[in-house]
Amino acid sequence: MTITVLVPDEHGVAALAGIDGVRAVRYEPGALPDEAAEAEVLVPGFLTADKGSLVAGVPKLRLVQLLTAGAEAWVGTLPEHVMLSTCSGAHGGSTAEWVVAALLTMFRTMREFEDDRRTQTWQMQQTETLQGKRVLVIGSGDLGKQLKRRLDAFDAEVTMVANTAREGVRGVDELPELLPHHDVVALMVPMTPKTRHLANADFLSRMPDGAVLVNAARGPVVDTDALVRELSAGRIRAALDVTDPEPLPPGHPLWTAPGLLLTPHVAGSCTGVHARAYRVIAEQIAQFARGEEPSNLVRGDY
């Protein structure tokens, strides 16, 4: 028995070619091939707009396999019999790398030194260092684990946080106690109803003066208005790869907020992204083809 998988690009066709019992067929949004009538697995593109019509065009669909680790755009949108699986494990390293780059840029004042270069100013100054910084990593999945591994190499002191406490990991209910004692708070959580505005006004107020909030999760995990107030007061700093709203519209106060490093949702957008994503996807689909549940299966809000 052969399972037909619809993929959005040639990377997917090549990645799935060696899996027994799987036939990968490329599709174009809005112009599904004839094979869609028999397809059981759909791999949506990175930016899929019309989910409803796409899913409706695959009548025998049993699994939607995402290219992203985040599933919030798909949770609750599929028929009950259709499974949803993420690409967790593909983008954690790249995202963790972005966090480290952002922190080094801020602590070692790289932007300021670049400004001096433009004005041909030789101005030596002492900077902060990542060494010894107390970093609170909220989220202990692939992204959080990848970040801890990199921060350990820089001799930072890392505290991990998850929904529930376990050995070596603190519980999210301990955040009020933990926040005042950390120099950096890195958000590495999925977007769910529970994590929406996790970093609200009370959360931010508990961070010590001069601390850095890093959001490499999703924009709505942070209460934007509360963050703007803290940044405008100069009390804390932030590094954001995601915002709410997103894209950030012209004139939004985040564009001019002091103490902010901002990038346009590019933490995972780097060379090799397709190879890393399809390596995980191939494993998930191979499991499905063997009659197993994919290991990245989304359950509930995930």
- Tell me, yes or no, whether 202 and 98 share the same domain: yes
Assigned domain for 188 exists: yes
Confidence of residue 49 (pLDDT cuts 50, 70, 90): low
Give the whole-angstrom CA distance, residue 254 versus residue 271: 28
Which one of 11, 196, 265, 279 is the catalytic residue?
265
CB 188 within 8 A of CB 95: yes
Residue-range definition of the domain harbouring residue 100 = 92-262
Answer with the residue of higher pLDDT: 115 or 18: 115
What's the number of CA atoms in the CB half-sphere (13 Å) around residue 250? 0
197 is catalytic: no
Assigned domain for 298 exists: no
Dihedral of alpha carbons 20, 26, 29, 35, sign:
negative
- Tell me, yes or no, whether 102 and 7 share the same domain: no
CATH code for the domain of 129: 3.40.50.720
- Tell me, yes or no, whether 226 and 253 share the same domain: yes
166 is catalytic: no
CB 63 within 8 A of CB 83: yes
The average pLDDT across 150-171 equals 97
CB atoms within 10 A of CB 26: 14
- Tell me, yes or no, whether 116 and 188 share the same domain: yes
- The per-residue pLDDT for range 65-102, each reduced to its tens digit, is 999 999 999 999 999 999 999 999 999 999 999 999 99
pLDDT the model gives residue 31: 86
Which one of 91, 182, 218, 274 is the catalytic residue?
218
182 is catalytic: no
Assigned domain for 300 exists: no
Cα angle 92-108-142, degrees, rounded to a multiple of 5: 10
- Tell me, yes or no, whether 205 and 282 share the same domain: no
What is the total count of domains within the chain? 2
Which one of 174, 177, 246, 292 is the catalytic residue?
246
H or E stretch covering 134: strand 134-138
**Alpha carbon of 75 to those of 56, 194, 286, 299, 302: distances in Å?**
16, 14, 23, 9, 9
pLDDT the model gives residue 48: 73
Give the whole-angstrom CA distance, residue 141 versus residue 70: 12
